Structure 1
Amino acid sequence: MKKYKFTITGDEYDVHIKEIEDNIATIEVNGTKYEVVIQGEVKSTKTPRLVRKPVVQQPGEGLIKKQQSGGGTTVKAPLPGTIFKINVAVGDQVKSGDKLLVMEAMKMENQILAEKDGQISVIKVKEGDAVLQDDVLLEIS
């Protein structure tokens, strides 16, 4: 907050007032910290203090529910992004290199391609979902 130089009976003191809360001041005199009580008029601070109740989590809140895998080949997100468009449906036959879905990441549209021939068994995302890298998007059996 403020720094002062005091001379008391010929000795010099560097005083740094760190914080004043109610009538207790935290100060530093020549590098040593002290808490001192201010006597006299106590001025209220003009800055309001934010007081919050502790956050209490509800039962089950914050837990991630994992879905069982169907045993097929999983197609994972190559990087974090948002699912922009899904080009296939459950039951569709796909060949290696087919466009499965479009993912928007870093302001670019990325085509997610099939890595093998097969049938779409599970789609674990929908358009608009935000995904992280290596999240399972769909399964091919």
Structure 2
Amino acid sequence: MKEYRYKINGNLYKVTVGDIEENNVHVEVNGTPYTVELEKHASPKIKPVIRTASTTPAAPPPAVTRPTVSQGKSGVKSPLPGVILDIKVKEGDTVKRGQTLLILEAMKMENDIKSDRDGKVTAINVSKGESILEGTDLIIIE
């Protein structure tokens, strides 16, 4: 038997958990006995992995891109870590200040990454679906 004390909406409850029979639990709350029926969950089916001497796992691809340093050209940097959902421009495109360059998913939100100046896209340093870190040069604009 285990005893617990719970405070719910300002009320104190003394709960004693007793015997467990299949999916029924005998519980006493402030001296009043109850039988609580537990919900049955389907057990997950686990497939065993059998490895032999000839089986070796493949190396995973790199998950995160390190911040890059631009060479004299001005890059649009990632304001936070995330995943590139879409790239709206191509190399050679002329962009205006405030134009959406790409969409970055961070913390389950889509963020439009916009150009901070007018210019020409000379390099796109990321690809769709890539995970990036804060400060990564995403797109180089001349």
TM-score (norm 1): 0.51
SS at match of 2:91: coil
Alignment of 1:1-141 (within 5 A): 69-141=70-142
Residue 20 of structure 2 is matched in structure 1 by none
Instruction: Write the letter of the residue equivalent to 1:69.
Output: S
Q: Give, in angstroms, the shift of residue 71 of structure 1.
A: 2.6
- CA 1:100–1:118: 2 relative to 1, 3 Å: same
Distance (whole Å) between structure 2 residues aligned to residue 77 and residue 66 of structure 1: 9
* Residues 77 and 136, structure 2, Cα contact 8 Å, conserved in 1: yes
- CA 1:65–1:103: 2 relative to 1, 3 Å: closer
Q: Give, in angstroms, the shift of residue 72 of structure 1.
A: 2.0
Structure 1 residue ranges without an equivalent (≥5)? 1-63
* Residues 70 and 122, structure 1, Cα contact 8 Å, conserved in 2: no
- The one-character-per-residue Cα deviations of 1:33-57 (angstroms, maximum 9, x if unpaired) are xxxxxxxxxxxxxxxxxxxxxxxxx
* Residues 68 and 137, structure 2, Cα contact 8 Å, conserved in 1: no
- The one-character-per-residue Cα deviations of 1:57-83 (angstroms, maximum 9, x if unpaired) are xxxxxxx99867353211111001000
Structure 2 residue ranges without an equivalent (≥5)? 1-64
Distance (whole Å) between structure 1 residues aligned to residue 102 and residue 66 of structure 2: 24
- With CA pairs under 8 Å and 6+ residues apart, which has the higher RCO, 1 or 2? 2
Instruction: Write the letter of the residue equivalent to 1:86.
Output: I
Distance (whole Å) between structure 2 residues aligned to residue 74 and residue 140 of structure 1: 6
Considering only CA atoms, is the larger Rg found in Structure 1 or Structure 2?
1
Distance (whole Å) between structure 1 residues aligned to residue 100 and residue 86 of structure 2: 10
Instruction: Write the letter of the residue equivalent to 2:81.
Output: P
Instruction: Write the letter of the residue equivalent to 1:107.
Output: K
Sequence identity (%): 44
* Residues 67 and 135, structure 2, Cα contact 8 Å, conserved in 1: no
Distance (whole Å) between structure 1 residues aligned to residue 104 and residue 119 of structure 2: 21
- CA 1:66–1:81: 2 relative to 1, 3 Å: closer
